[in-house]
C-alpha cells in the first residue's frame, strides 16, 4: 500500500477526528479512503450519465417492455 501525507489546518483535523469517532472508523486513513472511494464512484456515475445523455435514443420503455424484462428476469 502506498502512503500519502497531507497537512490539514487544525479545524479540518478536528473535523476528521470527530468523523472517525462519530462514524465508527478505526483510523483517519479509513475515513479518507472512504471519501476517495465515494468521489471515484460519483465521478464514474457522472461519466456514465453524461454518456447516456449524449447517446442516441433507445427502445421506448412501456408496459410491454417491463413485462418482457420481468419474464426474462424470472428465467421464462
Report the alpha-carbon distance of residue 13 to residue 19 in Å, rounded: 10
pTM for this one? 0.71
**Domain assignments of the chain as residue spans, ordered by start:** 10-56
Tens place of pLDDT for every residue, the chain, 76 residues?
Answer: 899 999 999 999 999 999 999 999 999 999 999 999 999 999 999 999 999 999 999 888 999 999 999 999 998 7
Task: Give pLDDT, residue 76.
Answer: 75
b/e 13-38 (16+ beta carbons within 10 angstroms → b):
eeebeebbeeeebeeeeebbeeeeee
Amino acid at each position: 500500500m502506498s502512503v500519502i501525507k497531507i497537512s490539514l489546518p487544525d479545524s479540518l483535523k478536528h473535523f476528521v477526528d470527530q468523523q472517525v469517532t462519530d462514524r465508527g472508523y478505526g483510523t483517519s486513513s479509513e475515513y479518507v479512503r472512504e471519501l476517495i472511494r465515494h468521489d471515484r464512484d460519483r465521478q464514474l456515475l457522472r461519466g456514465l450519465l453524461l454518456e447516456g445523455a449524449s447517446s442516441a435514443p433507445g427502445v421506448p420503455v412501456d408496459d410491454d417492455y417491463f413485462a418482457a424484462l420481468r419474464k426474462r428476469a424470472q428465467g421464462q
